[in-house]
Amino acid sequence: MGGRGRGHGAAQVTGRPVPASDLYFEATGVAAVFSRALDLAKTGARVVVVGVHRAPVELDLVNVLIRELSIIGSMAYPREFPQVITMLESGAVDATALVSHRFGLSQFAQGLAAARDAGRAIKVLVDCQS
């Protein structure tokens, strides 16, 4: 793997180098994942924390300062849930249109292949129940 801000190195999912990104969403609540996102981010990147961390996380503020990283906390918007649910129920928003491909768990490899096709894939869904 690359050093700070040098990208992801040889990604195991695609087998190709993945460049450093401008934006990361840390949704796991795992300190090591948050730290890794900070290390991989390019200079000036934003890291949005949406995962709930149950314990304090050590933070290298010199890294954040020198590389001009922005760390943003973001919680859900529970006041908007009823409106969104109403929109989905009424058909005003068709969320199924966002899913371009569906695969069963036994077709996981095919799902990954479809997800790699940025020209055709929007949202690839792997159904773990089928």
φ, ψ at 114 (rounded to 5°):
-65, -40
| 117 lies in some domain | yes
| 88 lies in some domain | yes
Same domain, 52 and 99: no
Q: What is the predicted pLDDT for the residue at 68?
A: 97
Alpha-carbon torsion angle 27, 33, 35, 41, nearest 10: -70
Nearest Cα to 38, choosing from 50, 25, 51, 28?
25
pLDDT by residue for the chain (130 residues), tens only, comes to 445 655 555 454 455 666 788 999 998 888 998 998 998 899 999 999 988 888 999 999 999 999 999 999 988 777 888 998 899 899 998 888 889 999 998 999 999 899 888 788 888 998 888 7
Q: What is the predicted pLDDT for the residue at 47?
A: 95
How many whole angstroms separate alpha carbon 25 and alpha carbon 72?
9
| Of the residues 73, 93, 115, the one at which a domain ends | 73
Same domain, 23 and 54: yes
- Give me the number of domains the chain comprises: 2
Nearest Cα to 44, choosing from 8, 5, 72, 74?
5
Token pair, residue 35, equals: 């730290």
**Domain limits for position 61:** 9-73
- Residue written as token pair 């969104």: 84
Same domain, 83 and 69: no
| 37 lies in some domain | yes
